[in-house]
Every structure is written in structure tokens, then in C-alpha cells.
Amino acid sequence: MLVSVVVKVRNEEHCIADLLDSLVLQDGPLEIIIVDGGSTDRTCEIVRDYQKIYDFISLHQEGENRAESMNFGLSIAKGGIIALTDGDCIANPFWLREIRRSILHEGHDFVVGKSINIGLWSWEQLPRVRIYNQGHDCSWPGCNIAYRREVYEKVGDVDEWFRTAEDIDYNIRATNAGYAIHHNPNAIIYNRTRATVYGFIEQTFWNGAGRKQLTEKYSETVWSSYNLLTMLREENINFWFVVRSFFAGMGYISYKLFGERYPASND
């Protein structure tokens, strides 16, 4: 079965070649859809170089934000399976083989893989802030997700109101639609952590803002199963965990004070 790998990118000239090198080696048939959201560096030039060699790679320049770029990619995907990753990632050689195994042979509709952070060790070890819905962990990042086309046809487009956390929102909507999220730890993506302290803080800030956006859409129910004390007991707590928590809190509060409210007509 054809797998459509959809990748939204913006200014990934230092990483995109590594991603494409890892994707062109995957088991076919596949198509690789790169959707550029306004890069000002050499990202598109590098992708075009790969297009000259691999006819199953396509490049599109669409969208003003992450969600718009993703929706364009989803709208043109032809595969019976849609797989998502990011421009700064590297796929394990057996990534799509494991995705196909989970969906085609085991019968799962919605699959998340194992994302291994690579970069500064202290940042690699930071835990996800888990959000549960319908008994499923919905905080799996959008860099390693795949689902049958039928899921997309039923759940619909990514919510373009989200500036960030649109992947978590999609996971919540999928579970609300009755789909179970299956975790295959053998479907591995290597995900780069931020390269600078500024980049780490910026990402953390927007992660916090994204959590507030989720609260705007789903009210406080999005946090109903979250237990801070349990996470503090079970996870690796270090200096960078405290830094991340502080700036995530700043992002959450900033969006609460100045962010856009969720339109009731879209709820």
C-alpha cells in the first residue's frame, strides 16, 4: 500500500537533507510530500536537488503557519496510509515497515511511534507533559504519527486556529471520533532537540502557549487526568526541567492574557 509521508518545513536547510536521506531508503511504495511554509534559507533549493533524483518527492510552497501547511499536504496525499514527520527529524530505516505492520497486519487505524530525542543530553531526557483523552495518551508529538486515510476522512483537517499544539488537538479529535491510539516502539524517529538555549526557551514558551490554546478549545477537561505530583515522582527532574517549566508557564500565562479566544462557532 502506498504511504504518503507529509512533512511541513520552514527554514530547515541544516536538517532537511538528513531527513530526505533517511526517507528515500524506506520500504516503498511511498510518496514524500514536502510543504514549505515560507523558508528564507536554502531549504527549497535542497529539496529540488533531491527531486532531480527521486521522482516520488514533491515540493509545495503553501501555508502561512504549521496547520495550513499540514492541511495542504494532507489534501494532496494519495496514499492509503498517511505518515507525518518533521523537517528536523531522521527516520529509522525500518520506520515505514513498522508503520505498515501496525496498520496492515495488526489492524490498527492510528499509530504513534517512538521518538528519540538527539542533542544535549539534559534536553533529551526531559519528559513529555502527558494529556489523556478517552483513556489514550494524546500528547504524542506530530513528528511520528501515521493513520489510515479513513481517519483523515472522518476527523478532517488540522484546526488552523492553532499556532502550535495542532498535533495534540488532532490526537484528541481522533480519540473523540472513536479511534484508539496504538504505540509501536519499533517505529522510530530521531528528533533533534533545539541547538541553542534561545531556541530551547522559544520552543518551551510556545509549548506553554499551545497548552493554553488546548484549554481554550476544550476547557479545563484537557487537564482532568494530569497529575503533576505523579510526573514529579516518576520523571527525570533536573535544572532544565525547571527552566522548561518556568518558560512554559510564561507562555501559558501570556496566551491567557493576550491570546485569541477559541471561536465558539468552530467548537
DSSP-H helix ranges across 219-264: 228-234, 239-258
Write the pLDDT tens digit of every residue in 106-137: 999 999 999 998 877 665 667 677 888 988 99
Phi and psi at residue 66, to the nearest 5°? -60, -45
Confidence (pLDDT) at 173: 96
Reduced to 3 states (helix: H, G, I; strand: E, B; else coil), residue 79 is coil
Looking at the predicted structure, is the pLDDT value of residue 263 above 70?
Answer: yes
Residue 227 burial (CB < 10 Å; 0-12/13-18/19+)?
A: exposed
Please list the residues that pair with 188 across neighbouring strands. 114
Q: 171 has which bridge partners?
A: none
Report yes or no: 82 and 6 within 8 Å, Cβ to Cβ: yes
Q: In angstroms, what CA-CA distances link 225 with 34, 137, 221, 229, 264?
A: 36, 10, 8, 12, 24
Which tens digit of pLDDT belongs to each residue from 12-31?
999 999 999 999 999 989 99
For the stretch 47-76, pLDDT in tens is 999 999 999 999 999 988 888 999 999 999
Query: What is the reported pLDDT for 31?
Result: 98
% of the chain at pLDDT higher than 70: 90
pLDDT at 267: 44
Identify the band that residue 242 occupies on the pLDDT scale cut at 50, 70 and 90: confident
Q: Walk me through the domains of the chain, giving residue ranges and CATH numbers.
A: 3-195 (3.90.550.10)
Classify residue 103 by its DSSP letter. Answer: I
Q: Is the pLDDT of residue 105 over 60?
A: yes
**Do residues 218 and 129 touch, judged by C-beta distance below 8 A?**
no
pLDDT of amino acid 240:
77
Pairing of strands 181-192, 110-118: parallel
Q: What is the pLDDT of residue 70?
A: 94
| Grid coordinates of 221 | 477537561
Task: Note the pLDDT of residue 50.
Answer: 98
Instruction: Determine the pLDDT at residue 231.
Output: 54
Q: pLDDT value at position 64?
A: 81
